[in-house]
Amino acid sequence: MGSINIIPAQLLGMDRYWKGFLPEPSVRTVGDMECVLADPDSVELDSATPLYYMYRDLAMNETDREILSRQNIRYDITVIPPMVLSGEYVKTKGHYHPEDPAGLGYPELYQVLAGEAHFLLQQKGLLDVVAVAASAGECVLIPPGYGHVSINSGEEVLVMANLVSTLFDSEYAVYEEMQGGAYYAQEKEGDENPNGINWNQNPRYVSAAPIREIAARDIPEQGILHGTVFRHGMEIYDLVSGSADLSFLNEPKRFV
């Protein structure tokens, strides 16, 4: 692998989405992602080519840092420039969250800050697979027990924020062993609908449920988070600076 040519934060437009201190991002390259792509052998990019950037553990000031660390929560911003890799829309690697001490999986709250995303959610037992389409301002809650992949299905840079527990490490084994999630988001042939997605089932998942497609804005329960007034369009970072109770991210059992 050659050296990694990281796009500087300013060129990624990060100053529009984050005014505070910005640490160096973690980067996933083509080489990191080969094990989860639909057709890695046909990708002609150098394996050192960066695909996405994860700015983790952000806080605007020391007060917010204290609020986050007291609640064991992390705020991250992920930036995925648009790209199609041998017909497949660029995406995150994909992972599950482990069970919390009460036996449910840790959830996670995402918000699209710019661009167009599809969140591919798959329940551990594969009885449910959902593609949630989300545009700027819209939120998606990753429910307990679901693995997730974020896909840049648009032509613009996708910028997403997330709030997640710091009490666990993500689990990648299923996505690595199965070469990705249960479905691949691939370009539609022809130019009739150039932005359309073909959801092609990953043949290694013999028993995955048919994919359901829904829009984030049509999921009513994501409008209000457990007593905290929160609607699509409000900034999820305001939950931090407004000292909202984020304990549902660590103790989902209290809220189901």
Ligand X SMILES: O=P(O)(O)OC[C@H]1O[C@](O)(CO)[C@@H](O)[C@@H]1O
* Site size with ligand X, rule: CB under 6 A: 14
The closest of 10, 86, 4, 119 to 51, measured between CA atoms, is 4
108 binds ligand X (CB under 6 A): yes
CA pair distance 107, 229, nearest whole angstrom: 18
Give first-to-last CA distance, the chain, whole Å. 46
Task: Give the residue, chosen from 25, 40, 81, 94, that forms a contact with ligand X under the rule CB under 6 A.
Answer: 94
Nearer to ligand X, 172 or 255 (CB): 172
56 binds ligand X (CB under 6 A): yes
| C-beta of 16 vs 188, nearer to ligand X | 16
Please list every residue from 204 through 243 that binds ligand X, using CB under 6 A: none
- Tell me which of 72, 86, 170, 200 binds ligand X, using CB under 6 A: 170
Q: Which of 29, 49, 71, 92 binds ligand X (CB under 6 A)?
A: 92
Among the listed residues 96, 85, 86, the one whose alpha carbon sits nearest the alpha carbon of residue 182: 96
Task: Report the C-alpha gap between 74 and 206 in whole angstroms.
Answer: 35
Give the residue at shortest CB distance from ligand X: 78
CB 145 within 8 A of CB 124: yes
Question: How is residue 199 annotated by DSSP?
Answer: E
Query: Which residues sit at the interface with ligand X, rule CB under 6 A?
Result: 28, 54, 56, 76, 78, 92-95, 108, 150, 162, 164, 170
